[in-house]
């Protein structure tokens, strides 16, 4: 399905959110909920999480290794989550995993067996992407938070074998091939971590990182992201680092309108779903009202690894929507793109 057709299909999905008189609060809550992707602890979702899914307060779920004991259990878990969404009359959930290859596989018996650094050609990367897509699709998982298309130096970066290598042109070719292979199997790919963590001195999951690399060097590392956009990648994940070369304020990229809307949307022409990196990370959490700022920057899906974090984010956004600090137009734009993606994956 084309992006245009997907956006037209939003009208049908949006009918679920058209309230009767006096039901405005419920509609607003459901629109906010579609922007939330949550993780959870254990092998089964809590009753509270299932209730949130039924009420439409969650639009996606990310699965980690601790949630999954076997392929059959993963399939049953996905079915239970999707049944809860359907029971509330809500759109299907996006179900995501990090299945990058090599050591970063939430389903360790599934492909890609090789890490990105071990993939030697676009043909191999495309075959690995297709194998991963086929495997995930059988389990009902429809978003792979891969590939990493950052361009680190040959040594000294925390990404290690998660990146294809230190040449942006090679990363562009292999990353795009992986994306095409994955998406041919109706599993959405995610190019990450825009605009690049190749020169980051520390892991942004653990520290607030300010990247001081000059603009020309950063621009050279945009090539794999530009190639991913040309390849039709469904999602782009924005990093939690700050980039003064692109936004003099030093805000984390996920909160930066010049980076998300100016650089990714307008300059690179990306029209799909923008997803945050983990919002619990020090970068966004060092700012006030980070969730509303992220949506205002142009992010569509806010990723939280815990139920508590995602619930607090939902409450913050609902309050911001009520006060109009978070504009109805911003919520509608996010829901348009999320709905179009969900339609394409069905």
pTM tops 0.85:
yes
pLDDT > 70 in the chain, percent: 92
For 223-276, list the strands marked E by DSSP. Answer: 235-238, 242-243, 273-276
Quickly state the pLDDT bin for 42 (edges 50, 70, 90): very high
90-131 per-position pLDDT tens digit: 999 999 999 999 999 999 999 999 999 999 999 999 999 999
290-345 per-position pLDDT tens digit: 999 999 999 999 999 999 999 999 999 999 999 999 999 999 999 999 999 999 99
Boundaries of every domain in the chain: 3-345
Contacts of 9 by beta carbon, 8 Å cutoff, 6+ apart: 1, 339, 340, 343
Q: What is the DSSP letter of 148?
A: B
167 is catalytic: no
Quickly state the pLDDT bin for 3 (edges 50, 70, 90): very low
277 is catalytic: yes
| Residues 251-262, mean pLDDT to the nearest whole number | 98
Question: Which residue in the list 144, 150, 193, 208 is annotated as catalytic?
Answer: 208
The number of angstroms, rounded, from the C-alpha of 162 to the middle of its chain's C-alpha atoms is 17
128-175 per-position pLDDT tens digit: 999 999 999 999 999 999 999 999 998 878 899 999 999 999 999 999
Tell me the CATH architecture of domain 3-345.
Alpha-Beta Barrel (3.20)
SS3 87: helix
Asked if residues 100 and 148 have their Cβ atoms less than 8 Å apart, the reply is: yes
pLDDT of 10 strictly over 90: no
* Rounded-to-integer distance, Cα 267 and Cα 220, Å: 14
Residue 144's H or E segment, with its range, is strand 143-144
């Amino acid at each position: 399905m084309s992006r245009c057709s997907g956006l037209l299909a939003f009208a049908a999905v949006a009918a679920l959110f058209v309230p009767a008189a006096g039901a405005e609060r419920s509609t607003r809550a459901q629109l906010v909920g579609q922007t939330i992707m949550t993780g959870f602890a254990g092998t089964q979702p809590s009753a509270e999480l299932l209730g949130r899914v039924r009420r439409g307060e969650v639009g996606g779920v990310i699965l980690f290794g601790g949630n999954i004991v076997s392929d059959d259990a993963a399939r049953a878990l996905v079915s239970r989550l999707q049944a809860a969404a359907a029971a509330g009359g809500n759109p299907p959930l996006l179900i995501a995993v990090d299945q990058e290859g090599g050591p970063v596989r939430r389903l360790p018996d599934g492909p890609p067996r090789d890490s990105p650094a071990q993939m030697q050609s676009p043909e191999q990367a495309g075959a690995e992407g297709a194998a991963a897509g086929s495997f995930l699709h059988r389990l009902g998982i429809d978003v792979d938070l891969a590939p990493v298309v950052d361009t680190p130096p040959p040594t000294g970066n925390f990404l290690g074998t998660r990146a294809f290598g230190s040449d942006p042109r090679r990363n562009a070719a292999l990353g795009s091939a992986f994306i095409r292979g994955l998406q041919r199997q109706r599993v959405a790919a995610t190019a990450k971590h825009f605009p690049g963590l190749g020169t980051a001195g520390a892991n942004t999951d653990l520290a607030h990182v300010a990247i001081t690399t000059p603009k020309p060097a950063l621009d050279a590392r945009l090539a794999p992201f530009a190639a991913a956009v040309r390849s039709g990648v469904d999602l782009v994940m924005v990093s939690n680092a700050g980039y003064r070369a692109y936004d003099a304020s030093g805000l984390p990229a996920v909160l930066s309108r010049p980076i998300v809307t100016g650089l990714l949307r307008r300059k690179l022409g990306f029209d799909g779903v923008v997803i945050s990196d983990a919002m619990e990370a020090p970068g966004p959490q060092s700012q006030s009202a980070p969730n509303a700022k992220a949506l205002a920057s142009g992010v569509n899906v806010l990723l939280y690894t815990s139920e508590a974090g995602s619930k607090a984010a939902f409450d913050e956004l609902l309050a911001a929507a009520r006060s109009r600090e978070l504009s109805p137009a911003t919520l509608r734009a996010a829901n348009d793109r999320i709905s179009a993606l969900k339609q394409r994956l069905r």
